[in-house]
Amino acid sequence: MKKIVALLFGISTLLINAQQKVNEALKKELDDIMKVDQGYRMLYTSDTTPEKQNEILKDLNIDQKEFEKRGWEMVAEHDSLNMKTIERIISQHGYPGKTLVGEPTNRAAWYVIQHSTKIAKYMPLIKEAGKKKEIPFTWVAMMEDRYLMNQDKEQIYGTQGKGEMIKDKDGKQIFVNFVWPVKDLKNVNKRRKEAGFDSTFEENVKRMFGPDFKYEPYTLQKVLELRNKNK
């Protein structure tokens, strides 16, 4: 009997260790994906100095001349490759959340989906992950806002900004940044607080576009009119 118990204990230990190894391997794979996803985007942030940009390019093993030539095309290629990997991982494990890979690695799949064209497909999975506390609800809220924006609907939490080329009164093409229209704007901070955000809508707008950005509340009708006017 003791031998059987010892054997079962040994098998159980091996299974636990094997699972831990699988989790560590998955964690490393997701960490590498997140490093690429966020690294590429840091190259485009306004507060990234030339020195920091060179450091990121070197860290990601990106040829500077190739990046200057192809730029966002390279980002799109890596986003597509990352999405294929994430879909494989999800098919095998479900959402790779906090229980499976820990924090902050549980952000990796979220980042890739958020930057993809497949938010509609994975929105239910993200909501379920938030419900199970595998990811913070604020991430669910941000993806829901982007999903609504992609559907040309008003966002809920005021997390999404947009940039569009439009024609000014003289017919000249100019680039305009704006906050995507928010549903029930007067209560947005109440919703943000309930969702777990630690910043107000006004603070988040400054974070997205800089301290000198002058917020103008665009309506959904105005945004759609601007888009149609510039087609």
Least Cα distance to 154 among 210, 219, 200 occurs for: 219
What is the per-residue pLDDT for 115?
96
Looking at residue 231, its pLDDT comes to 62
- Supply the pLDDT for residue 2: 53
The pLDDT of residue 108: 98
Question: Which residues pair with residue 178 across a beta bridge?
Answer: 162
Q: What is the pLDDT of residue 229?
A: 66
163 within 8 A of 177, measured Cβ to Cβ: yes
pLDDT along the chain (231 residues), means of 10: 49 45 83 96 87 93 92 93 98 96 96 97 98 98 98 97 79 86 97 98 94 92 78 62
